[in-house]
Structure formats: C-alpha cells, structure tokens
Amino acid sequence: METVTDLKVERRPKLSETVVAAIREQLQTGLMQPGQKLPTEGQLTETFGVSRTVIREAIAQLAAAGLVEPRQGAGVFVIEQISTAFGALTSEMGTKNSIALNVLEVRLAIEIESAGLAATRRNAAQEAAIQEAYFEFDVLLRNGDPTGPADLAFHRAIASATNNPIYVEMLDVLGRRAIPCDVTSPWSTETSQSDEYQRGLHREHLAILKAISAGDAEAARHAMRVHLSASQKRYLERLQARHGFHQSGPSKRQDRE
C-alpha cells in the first residue's frame, strides 16, 4: 500500500515560468534579436493571457538571468552580447549560492568606488535617474510588487553616473545575479521578501542617494560599503538558517508546524 511519503506530486509550473520559457525560446531561435525592444507590458499581458504581475515576475527572472535589461522610461530590451570574458567567468563560478556570495564580494570592490565617483561626476540627468529608481523601488514596495528591477536600476544608474562605461558593463553582467531581495530571484527567501527586510534596503539606498546628491564622495563610498556589507551578511544568515532547517529533519519540522 502506498504511503503519503511514497507519493510524488509534480509541481505545476508558475505562470511566470511559462512566460519565461516562451520568451527564452524566441531568443534562442532568433525571433528576438540582441538590442531589440520587447513588447510592452500591456501587449505581453494580452499575448500570454496573464496578469501584469505575472509579466513583471517573468521580466525580473529574465533580467536576473542576464537576458533582458529594463531601462527606465524606455522599456525592456534584449541584452547585447556584452562581454564574453565576463559571461564565461560567471558561468564557471560554481553553485548558485557561491555565485551570489562571490558576486556580492566583487560588487563591494566595484560599487564602493562607483558611488564615490558618481558623487563627484554625475550630471543633473544622471542624478535624476538615480532618484527615479529610488522612488520606483518605493512604489513597487508599497504595491507589493517585485522590487528587484528597481533595485538593479538604482545601482546601474549610479554606475552610469561615474561616466565610465566599464562600471556599467561589469554591473550588467554581475548585478543581475546579486539582487537576492526580489521575489523572483533564485536566491529569494521568505525573509528577503518581507516588508521589514525590503524597507531596510530602502533606507540604505536613501543614505547612498543623499550622499551622491550632496556631492560627498567619502559619504557615498561609506553608504555603499554599509549597504553591500549588510547584503552580504543578510545572505549568509539566510543560508545558515536554511541549512539549519534542512538539518533539523522532517520530524522536528513537523513538531514546529
């Protein structure tokens, strides 16, 4: 007689995963070319017969995989072939847990200085783009929508404000793999999806924004160091908590339920 533990239940794919698979296929078959703009959110909603939230989750997953790039006010574009060397590097970095930790470490080296440079080099339009990404994060947070795209847009706008395109290029490859706070991220957890967690991120972003707007390079570097170091610490804590959960065994977990 089959017991409950003998039964295997196939998980039905999420609607967003179905959309991701369809768009991936179009990219692989060449129906969508590098640099091409994706249909609008409304058009994709109509095409796939799903909600706007599902489309946003799918776009966030595609962005996290380095396939598309949301651009503030312009739409979502298929990624150009940025850097074969960087792409090869990230594909050989190991498991997804080690990738996230390795990328966060690299971002510490890159983005601390980019924040300092942005504070002294940004022009009015670049400062406005950083502010716009910050406020977009706030809107998404209040609406309960995935904040990952706005999070990445905030960091990318800072990299762009350095007026050194290499900072942007490196973040385009690394950044998508290091935004674990978003619900669609492969490294997301219930903790990282919590309102308290994301409001903490938002406060850290505000400190960075204020320092850049004030033209204070040292304060901008400090705020970015605090933010990314905290992200690194939070991710390690989540890994440890998850490891403890799996080590506790099914009987102990059932006792807690």
pLDDT tens, residue by residue, 228-252 = 998 888 777 766 665 554 455 544 4
CATH of 84-243, one of 3.90.920.10, 1.20.120.530, 3.40.50.300, 2.60.120.10: 1.20.120.530
Phi, psi (rounded to 5 degrees) for 248? -70, -20
Which of the four pLDDT bands, split at 50, 70 and 90, describes residue 92? very low
In Å, what is the CA distance from 21 to each residue of 14, 55, 61? 11, 12, 10
d(CA 78, CA 68): 4
Q: Full-prediction pTM beyond 0.75?
A: no
The CATH fold of domain 11-78: Arc Repressor Mutant, subunit A (1.10.10)
Tokens of 6: 């003998």
Which pLDDT score is estimated for 34? Answer: 81
Q: List the chain domain ranges.
A: 11-78, 84-243
Reported as a single tens digit per residue, the pLDDT across 124-163 is 999 999 999 999 999 988 888 878 778 888 998 999 999 9
d(CA 173, CA 211): 26
**Helix, strand, coil proportions of the chain in percent (round to 5)?**
70, 5, 25
Average pLDDT score, the chain: 77
Tokens of 186: 């492969």
Which of the four pLDDT bands, split at 50, 70 and 90, describes residue 104? confident
d(CA 177, CA 100): 6
